[in-house]
Chain A
Amino acid sequence: MTDAAIPAEDPATPRLAVLSVRQLTWRKFRRNRLAYLGLCVLCVMYLMAAFAPFLAPYGVRETHSQFARTAPNGLHFIDENGSFHAVPFVYGLRQGMDPETFLQSTIRVEDEKYPLRLLPRGEPYLLFGLIPAERRLFGVDAPGKIFLFGTDTRGRDLFTRILYGAQVSLTVGLFGVILSLVLGVGIGLATGYYGGWFDSITQRVIEMTQAFPQIPLWLALAALIPPTWSSIQVYFGISIVLSILTWGALARQVRAMVLSLKTSDFVRAARYSNASTGRIMLRHLLPSTFSHVLVIATLAIPAMILGETALSFLGLGIKAPMTSWGLLLNEAQSVQVIVETPWLLIPVVFVVLTIISFNFVGDGLRDAADPFAR
């Protein structure tokens, strides 16, 4: 009797057994409600940024000069008499003297009501920079104005600018992280595997970059960007600046993992099968670092977003005509602003929401990363 053979009627292997590591990680991630919520919020944010021209009622540079510093003029269902309107509306606006402060300001005209219009035609634009389109999601007929978050000092609709600002704020972090990833993982793998003096020197360099306080160094590097550069060039320049400081942490983490995996049995087994160094690094070592690298990258993005926000807030980051949330906050720097036009601080909410969501997702990934929970 061949007792060496496993019996044909195997105990039914549970479904879990058939899944790959990636699928197991996703299942575990999904069960973490906060992380899943964070992921949903981020998806909404990025969709918002992608469809910004469609979702915004106005163009990004459109100014309504007679309505500068206007408080939010949003939608109402119930009018001043208490009656219900099925289609929400906005009140009319006119310039006038505020009876309390005696200053020039925008006053709501309650007799004029402009109902919400869906998919109205407006200024033509290019969706995703490619597809010409005319319609936007919502708007009101002229001369009605819909300022969901109010206007800034030059009369530009804040809601529109936040949507366009998302495009920059949410992507500058991504580019920065991708740059860091390529540099960090590559160097981490090489130094971990080969060691020696190359490793020692690299570690000292990384330690030096880590020893600097982050924001002042970013400021200094950002100040190096020539003022003659165009908005787009500045954008990529900021990405590079942000990534300079984060590749080090990534490289160290990858190196640590490679050091411990280098001597494990499955790497030895590959070597005893004549695997080349390249194959060992790419096929065996690198995939084992994926989960950790992903977590670090996800947690580095909020730092980059904050970095860009800080730089732009201080005037050293993104240049007009591009907008970012940080640049929007740049206009909200004085106490006067907070007292008179507090709605200009709304971009803060978006920044905070984005960063918290990234942190939840990063935490969830870290918890789900080793589905075998050694």
Chain B
Amino acid sequence: MTPLLDVQGVSKTFTVAGGLFDRARGTVRALDDVSFTVPAGTTVGLVGESGCGKSTMGHVIMGGLSASGGQIMFDDPALGLTDLAKADEATRRKTRLNMQMIFQDPNSSLNPRMTLVDLIGEPLVINGVMKGQALEERVAELLEQVGLSTRYLRRYPHALSGGQRQRVVIARALALNPRLVVADEPISALDVSIQAQTLNLMKDLQAQRQLTYLFIAHDLGVVNHFTDTTVVMYLGRVVETGATHQIFRVPKHPYAEMLIGSVPRIGDKGTRQKPAVGEVPSAMNPPGGCHFHPRCPYAADRCRTEVPALRPMGDGRFARCHFSETLTLAGMDGVPATRTVS
């Protein structure tokens, strides 16, 4: 069964300009040999901390940024299997009818000078799908599907609350009936009590419309609830993939273990599996070999020089660590360790 999206070895390098004539001063490998698959109808989480490249990956898939290498195979219903990385603009325009993006900040992703009907209807107008009365009816339908009253049709975004604005963003993303929705931190900017509402809405919409989500997030609790499989990224590389609940129970990569162990949990006063060490290094100057080795409690000599390959661990899981087979790492319900002073 061909996955809806199959990312293979994608890399993306930025040149950092500077100096008197904007000469190239250095390079940043925002994405380095990134591979994962997104089966149709599922939700795949893309997780990592700052600098890991998850947002960049989202924009490379959407075509806002071009990939420096690799393939992005998208199973387009009209065009068939298309490599997005090598597609020209004309092909891109056709594929965009089937994939859309939900942005993080509803305040900056909605043009404040346009009414809701203009905002949500814009994709339909641009692509010549419909206009006039039919358009308005379609927009009204979309508003109802995301739980907003149609009396907001002619209102402006500033008339709505943050949660309502995000619903407008979702409605706009669904206007063209896409198969794939890339959601870039869709609830991070919302209040805690609204996050749950929005997540439930997204889940309902997925069931109703057979959507596939690529869910970019940093909050592991949300990822646990929402995703079927998870891709963990660190400094531009994929370090672990697999079924979400498996990764959270028994991770195979030391970074995943550190990440899971760092999440503050209710009722867990002060107990910590293993305290986190160090900070994410700058993307301009990543450590050699395995990027994680300076912070890894299990690092050995070869980790400093040899980049580990992303290897299958069985059960559809992959991990990029020299010692994944031999390490037993603690997940969410690991043995509580004694607290050590950091």
Chain A residues engaging chain B, CB cutoff 8 angstroms = 2-6, 8, 10, 13, 17-21, 264-266, 268-276, 279, 283-284, 287-288, 372
Contact = CB atoms under 8 A, between A and B. Distances in A.
Interface in B264-283: none
Contacts of A372: 112, 158
A269 B105 CA distance: 12
Given A5-B147, A272-B62, A266 B111 contact: yes
B148 interface: yes
A288 B111 CA distance: 9
A271 B63 CA distance: 9
Contact of A272 (B101, B113, B146): B101
Nearest to A270: B122
Nearest to B62: A272
B156 A4 contact: no
Given A3-B200, A272-B64, A265 B122 contact: no
Contacts of B43: none
B143 to A, nearest CB: 10
B63 A6 contact: no
A274 B159 contact: no
Contacts of A275: 122, 126
28 contacts: A2-B147, A3-B197, A3-B200, A4-B200, A4-B201, A5-B147, A6-B149, A6-B164, A17-B155, A18-B155, A20-B156, A21-B112, A21-B156, A264-B108, A265-B105, A266-B109, A269-B103, A272-B96, A272-B101, A273-B100, A273-B123, A273-B126, A273-B127, A274-B93, A274-B123, A274-B127, A275-B122, A288-B111
Given A4-B147, A272-B96, A273-B123, A266 B200 contact: no
B159 A268 contact: no
B35 to A, nearest CB: 24
A274 B92 CA distance: 9
Nearest to B154: A18
Interface residues of B, number: 39
Chief secondary structure at chain B's binding surface: loop
B155 A6 contact: no
A269 B64 CA distance: 10
Given A268-B59, A269-B169, A274-B123, 13 more contacts: A6-B147, A10-B149, A17-B158, A18-B159, A264-B108, A265-B108, A270-B122, A272-B96, A273-B122, A273-B123, A288-B111, A288-B113, A372-B112
Interface in B188-207: 197, 200-201, 204
A279 B128 CA distance: 14
A268 B155 contact: no
